[in-house]
Chain A
Amino acid sequence: MTVLDWMQLILISLLIGGGAPVVGHYLAWVFTGPRIAPERWIHRLIGVDPDKPMDWREYAGALLFSNALFFAAGYSLLWAQGRLPVNPRHIAAMSPEVTFNTAASFVTNTNWQAYVGEAQLSNFSQMVPITFLMFVGANTGMAALVAILRGFARSGTAHVGNYWDDFFRFFVRAFLPACFAMALLLVWQGVPQTLSTTVVAHSLEGGSQTLILGPVASLEAVKNLGTNGGGFYNANGAHPYENPTPLTNTLELLGMLTFTASLPFLFGRLTGRSRQGWALFATIMILYALGLGAVEISEKGPNPLLAPAGIAQTTSPLQDGGNTEGKETRLGITQTSFFSNTTMAATTGAVDAAMDSMNPLALMVYFSHMWLNEEPGGKGVGFAGLLKEAILAIFIAGLMVGRTPEFLGKKLEAREIKLAALSLIVTPFTVLLLTSVGVTASFGTSSMDNPGPHGFEEVLYAYSSGNANNGSAMAGLNASTPFYADSIGIEMLLSRYLPLLPLLAMAGALARKRIHPVTAGTLPTDTPLFVALLVGFMLLVGLLTFFPGLMLGPILEQLSLMKGLSF
C-alpha cells in the first residue's frame, strides 16, 4: 500500500468515526423530539393518530400491511410500464417473474436486480416505482429498528411506539432532506439528472454511441443513503454516470454508512447508555476493518495465473495495478475496496466494480459480511440483527458469570432465546437449502458464468445476497431465469419479514420486563472484553454455519490459485 492509500484510509475512517456519533445524536432528536409541522400535516392527511401507542402486534401489523400496499403499488406500476408515460424508447414491461422479483427486491431494501436498468426500465419506472420503493423499504427498516430499540429502553409497558409516527419522523427530518442534498452533490460531480432519455453521440472515429440519461442523481442518492443499492444502470456504481469521480465514490460509501453506522449511537441515546453505543460501534467497526484490510490485500495482490502472460500487476507511479478486471481506472483499488467492503457490511448491494471478477479472498469477506448481516447492516434491520447476536452471545457467555444472563438489565429467558434463535435460523435455512437446489438442478447450473468453485460461489452469493437483503451479485450468474427470479424473490420476502417479526415480538417482551440495576455481579456489556466476545461469537457461529460453503467456494478457489490451477 502506498502513502496515498493510507491517507485515503485514514481520512475516510476519520469521517466515519467522527460522523457516526453526530448523526446518531441527531437521529435521537428525530425520534424523541417534538413533532414538527410537516409531520403533523402528513398525519392529518393520511388520517392517523401518531400519539396512539402500539404494542408489538399492532406495530408489526401496520408495518406488514403498509409494506403489502407498497409492494402492490410498486408491482402495478412496473407491470404497467409499457402503458405509462415518460417512455420514449417504448420499453415493454419485464417478464412477470422479473417484475415480481423486482418489486419484492426493492420493497425489502434488497435491490437485487434481475434486469438491466438502462435497457429494461423506462425513466418513469426509474423515477416513480423504483425510487418510491427505495424510500419506503429503507424507511420501514428504520421504523422497525426504533420499535425494537424501545423494547430495550422501556420497562413495564407493552407499547413499542407508533409505526406511522416513527416512519414519517425519519422520512421528513432525515431521509428526504439528506437525499436531496446528496443528489445535488452528485450532480455537481457529474451524475446526470434529467427527464430526457437518450443522446446519440457521433464519435471521433465516425461511429455512434447511444448515451442513456435520466433522473440518475435522485435515484443514486436514495440508493446509498437508504442502503438500497439498486443502480440506474446495469453496471451500478461502476458506471461513470452513477459514480463519476473518486469523490462521488467516497460520498456514496459514506452515504451508505450515514444512517447505519450511526445506529449504535441512537441506541446509546435511547437507552441512556452511551458507552454501550460505543461498544456496539466498536464491534461493527472491528468487523468492518477486518474486511477492509482483507479486501485491500486481496485486490492489490497479483493473480499468479497471469504471471506467465507478462502482465504488470503491481502498483507503481504509472499505474494503480492490482486486480483491475471489472474495476474502474479513476477509482483505483483502494477506493474500490472501501466501496465494496462498505456495501457488503452495510448490506447495500451497490457495487463500483464487478464482484464476480474479484479474487477469492475478497469474496470470502463479502460472504462473511452477508452471512453476519449485522455489521452496520441494512437500514435498521442489520443493527437489530446485531442486537440479536448480542443477546445470544450474552446468553451463553453470560451464564459463565453465574447469573441468569441479562442485557441492559433485561433478563434473557426462554422467550427471548426462542425468538432470537428463530430469527437466527432463517439465514442458514434459506441460503443453504436454495443453494443446494441451485448447484444441482440443471436450471440452476445453466445460469452459471464461471466454472468450478467460482460457479458454485455465484449461486451461493446470489442466495446469500437475497437473504441478507444485500442485493449485490456476482453478476455473471444469469438471474433473470424464472427459477432464480422466483426463488430469490420469495427468499427476499421471507428473509426480510421472518427474522423481523420475532425481533419485534422480542421487543414487545423486553418492553414489559423490569430493568435490573447493575451490580458487581452483572456482566458489563460495554467493555472491550464484551466487544471481543461478541465479535468472536459472531465469527464462530458464522463459521460453523457456513464452513462447508466457504471451503468449497472461496477457500478452494484461493488455494487452487495459489497452486497455479485454473478451472
Chain B
Amino acid sequence: MKREKTRFSALGPAALKKSVLMLNPVTLWRNPVMFLVWVGSVLTTLFTLDFLVRHSGEAVFTGLISFWLWATILFANFAEALAELQGKAQAESLRATRSDTMAKLVVGDEVRLIRSTELKKWDQFLLSPGDTVPTDGEILDGAASIDESAMTGESAPVIREAGGDRSGVTGGTRVLAGELRVAVSANPGETFLDRMIALVEGAKRKKSPNEIALSILLIGLSLIFLVVVATLPAFSSYFKTPVSPTVLIALLVCLIPTTIAGLLPAIGIAGIKRAFDANVIAKSGKAVEVAGDIDLLLLDKTGTITFGNRQAVQLLPAAGVSREELARAARLASFGDQTPEGKSVLALAETLLDDHSPVSGVTPVPFTPQTRMSGADSSEGSFRKGSDDAIESFVGHPLPEDVRKTVTGIAQSGGTPLVVVCDKRVLGVIHLKDVIKPGLAERFKRLRAMGVETVMVTGDNPLTAGAIAREAGIDDFFAQAKPEDKMALIKKEQDKGRLVAMSGDGTNDAPSLAQADVALAMNSGTQAAKEAGNMVDLDSDPTKIIAVVEIGKQLLITRGALTTFSVANDVAKYFAILPAIFIVNFPALGVLNVMKLATPETAVASAIIFNALIIPALIPLALKGVAYRPIGASALLRRNLLIYGVGGILAPFVGIKLIDMGLVAIFTRMG
C-alpha cells in the first residue's frame, strides 16, 4: 500500500465547509434524528431573537442553548463530511493516475489515439511496452508483463494473458513487455473505482440493510422521547411548575440518540474506506457488512493455501542405493524438465550434491501423456522419473518391497511420490509436496475464534487434501472437486443457513462468486469474475478475504458500541435536567441532583454542551472503528458492554459535572 494517508489538516477546512453546507434542512431530512435537532435549533434561535428584541434576561441562556444545538448538528455533519472526504481523497489519488493517458483505440483496421476518458464499454485498444493502461479491461489477445505497483504497491511485475484466469488489466498500471489487445470493461464513470466513490458520497450513498434497521430503531427511540418531552408540560402544569420551551427542546435533544445518529453515516463510510485501505474495493456497503457475518470460508487450495506448485522436499533411496547415487540420478532425470516440479527436483538434488555445474552428454526425454514419465538418456543409461504405476510398466516388474512402502508412506502423508529408475534398476523415490504458505495456520485459528469455518476446495484426492488441510490448520476440505461442485457446495451450506464467502478469479468461478454471500474477486481475474463478485481485491490476494471479514465485524461493532453509548448517556442527562426543572418548587427532589450541579440553568446547559461535544470526541473512534478481538462472542460482548454500556452510563456524569464547574467559573469571572 503505497498511497499516502491523507492528513486531517488537508481535509479539515474542506470538511468544515461541507458541514456548514449540510445544515440545509433538505439534506438533513435524510437523518430524521438530526433533523429534529435542526428544528430545535431554529426554534431556540427565534426565541433568542425574540428575547433580545424584548431585552429579556433569558436571551443569554436561550442563546447559549441555541448555539450548542447548532454546534451539535455541525459536529455531526463534520463527522460525515470528514469520512466522505477521506474516502474520496483515497479514491481520487488512485484515479488521478489514469486520468490523462491516451488510448490506442482500434476502429476497424485503424488505430486512433483518443483520451482515455472517452473510452466506452466494449471499445478495443492496443497496448505496447511502456504504455500506461488507460482503463480497466479484459485482454482479448496477447500476453504481457505488467507493473501494477501504482495500484498495489507490489513491485514485482505480473503476467497477464488472454484466455486464462489472469486476463484482467487495471487502469493506471504499466505494460513492461508484450503486446496486448484489450476490451474496455466499463463506461466512464462506471468503473469499480467510480462505484466505490459513489458509496462514500453522502448524497448518493445508499444505506446498508443493517444501517436501515438501526435508523428505524433510532427513529422509534426519538418518537418515544418526543412524546416524553411533549407531555412534560402537562405533567409540570399539574405541579404548577412552568417549563420553558428552551429547556424542553434541550431535554429532547439530550434524550434523542444524537450521538449515534450523528456518527452513523461516518461509521458506514469509514468501513468502506477501511476496506479500501486494505486495497479492497467494495461494490456496496452491504458487502462489507455481510463480511462480518460469514460462517464459512471457501478457499482454493492452489494459490491460496499452497504456493501454486509441488516441490521436491526429500530423496528416499531404495535399499542398497546411496543417497548420492539417487541424487545424481534424480538430477539427470530432471535435467531437461522445465516444469516447476522438475526444477525443484533439480534444485534439491544439486543442493544435496553441492554440484551446480552444467550437465553434458544427456538427451532429455520430455513428459508425454503416453509414458507419463520424463527423464534423460545418457551413456550411463536411461534415467526416468514418474508415478509408481508408470515406472512399474517401464521396468516391467513390481517395485521392490521397501520402495513400495516408501511410495505408500508418501502418498498417505499427502505428498506425491516420484520413483526414479536407471534402466530397470529402481533407485529410490522423490518426495514432492505442496508447500503451504507461511502464517496461514494462525490466520485460520483467528478465523475459528471469530466463528468462521474454513473449507479447502481442491481437485486432489482425499488423502492428499486431508494431509494438506491438517498441515494448514484448515477445518474441512472438499476433495476431487470439479468447478461445478463448488457451486453445489455453496448452495448446500446456504440451505443449512450459513453465509458463505469465497475468493476467485476465473470465469468458471463466476457462478460461484455470484452465489456466495461474500465474493472477493481478484483484480487480475477475468471480467466475468469481477462482475460476479461483490468486492475486488486490487492486490489479487485470495487470503485478503480474512481481512475483509474483520473489517465487516469492526463496522458492526462500532455501530453497536456507539448506539449503546449514546442510549446509556441519557441516564445522566435526565439526572441533570429533570431535577433542575422541579427543584425550585419541590426541594425534596434535591437528592436527585447527584452531580450537585450549580444552578438549574448551568445544569441544562452542561447537559446540552456535553451532548454536543461527545460527537467530535467520538469522531476518531467512528472513523477508526472499534477494534475487533477474536475472543469469542460472549467475552467480546462482556467487554464492549462494560466499556460502552456501563461506561456510557458513567462517563456523562463526570463530563457534565466538569462542564458545569467550567460554566460556573466563566460566569463568576464575567460577574
Contacts and interface: CB of A to CB of B under 8 A. Distances in A.
Contacts of A529: 634, 637-638, 641
B227 A402 contact: no
B228 A414 contact: no
Interface string A284-303: 00000000000000000000
A64 interface: no
Contacts of A559: 588-589, 591
Nearest to A521: B451
B450 A520 contact: yes
Given A517-B295, A548-B235, A549-B235, A396 B220 contact: no
A439 to B, nearest CB: 4
A524 to B, nearest CB: 6
A65 interface: no
B238 A456 contact: yes
B292 A400 contact: no
Contacts of B212: 414
Interface in A141-192: 155
Given A404-B292, A520-B449, A527-B634, A565 B592 contact: no
A399 interface: yes
A439 B238 contact: yes
A555 B592 contact: yes
B570 A544 contact: yes
B227 A428 contact: yes
Contacts of A38: none
B645 A536 contact: yes
Contact of A428 (B224, B293, B638): B224
Contacts of B209: 404, 413-414
A402 B553 contact: yes
B556 A540 contact: no
B139 interface: no
A445 interface: yes
A397 interface: yes
Given A425-B224, A440-B238, A516-B295, 19 more contacts: A400-B637, A404-B556, A416-B213, A421-B217, A435-B235, A436-B233, A516-B497, A516-B499, A517-B497, A517-B498, A519-B452, A519-B453, A520-B632, A522-B633, A543-B571, A548-B235, A556-B589, A560-B586, A565-B588
11 contacts: A401-B633, A402-B552, A403-B292, A403-B293, A417-B217, A435-B234, A515-B497, A519-B295, A519-B452, A524-B634, A544-B570
B640 A418 contact: no
Nearest to A563: B588
Contacts of A440: 234, 237-238
Interface stretch (B88-96, B309-317, B414-422, B560-568): B560-568
Nearest to A444: B238
9 closest A-B pairs by beta carbon, nearest first, are A521-B451, A399-B560, A402-B553, A421-B220, A436-B234, A519-B451, A520-B451, A400-B560, A436-B231
A424 to B, nearest CB: 6
B574 interface: yes
Contact of B588 (A392, A403, A417, A556): A556
Nearest to B649: A540
Given A517-B498, A524-B634, A545 B224 contact: yes
Contacts of B236: 552
A432 B228 contact: yes
Contacts of A439: 234-235, 237-238
A403 B449 CA distance: 13
Interface string B428-441: 00000000000000
A548 B591 CA distance: 15
Contacts of B636: 400-402
A543 to B, nearest CB: 7
The interface centre, meaning the residue of B451, B582, B589, B628 with most chain A CB atoms within 10 A of its CB, is: B451
Interface in B231-254: 231-239
Interface in A533-547: 533, 536, 540, 543-545, 547
B496 A517 contact: yes
B223 A540 contact: no
A479 to B, nearest CB: 18
A414 B216 CA distance: 7
A445 B234 CA distance: 12
Given A395-B213, A456-B235, A551-B578, A523 B571 contact: no
A413 B290 CA distance: 12
B384 interface: no
A527 B641 CA distance: 15
**Residue among B213, B560, B561 with most chain A CB within 10 A:** B213
Contacts of B578: 547-548, 551
A412 interface: yes
B644 interface: yes
Given A400-B557, A404-B556, A421-B216, A551 B633 contact: no
A172 B292 CA distance: 48
A128 interface: no
B231 A413 contact: no
B210 interface: yes
B559 A399 contact: yes
Contacts of A565: 588
B624 interface: no
Contact of A396 (B217, B237, B292, B497): B217
Contact of B556 (A399, A436, A563): A399
Contacts of A404: 209-210, 289-290, 292-293, 556
A176 B613 CA distance: 61
A396 B210 contact: no
A399 B557 contact: yes
A448 B237 CA distance: 16
Contacts of B554: 402
A376 interface: no
Interface string A308-323: 0000000000000000
A540 B257 CA distance: 14
A523 B552 CA distance: 16
B476 to A, nearest CB: 13
Contacts of B640: 400-401
B552 A514 contact: no
Contacts of B216: 414, 417-418, 421
B255 interface: yes
Contact of B452 (A396, A422, A435, A521): A521
B448 interface: yes
Residue picked from A397, A429, A435, most chain B C-beta under 10 Å: A397
A521 B296 CA distance: 11
B641 A533 contact: yes
Contacts of B586: 556, 560
B471 to A, nearest CB: 22
B557 A396 contact: no
A425 B226 CA distance: 11
A552 to B, nearest CB: 6
Interface string A105-141: 0000000000000000000000000000000000000
A440 B231 CA distance: 11
B641 A397 contact: yes
B318 to A, nearest CB: 48
Nearest to A513: B497
A437 interface: yes
A22 interface: no
A522 B451 CA distance: 7
Contacts of B232: 548
Given A439-B235, A519-B453, A540 B571 contact: yes
A398 interface: yes
A433 B223 CA distance: 13
A51 B488 CA distance: 36
B220 A551 contact: no
B637 to A, nearest CB: 5
A401 B557 contact: yes
Contacts of A413: 209-210, 213
Nearest to A546: B228
Nearest to A543: B571
Contacts of A418: 213, 216
Contacts of A421: 216-217, 219-221
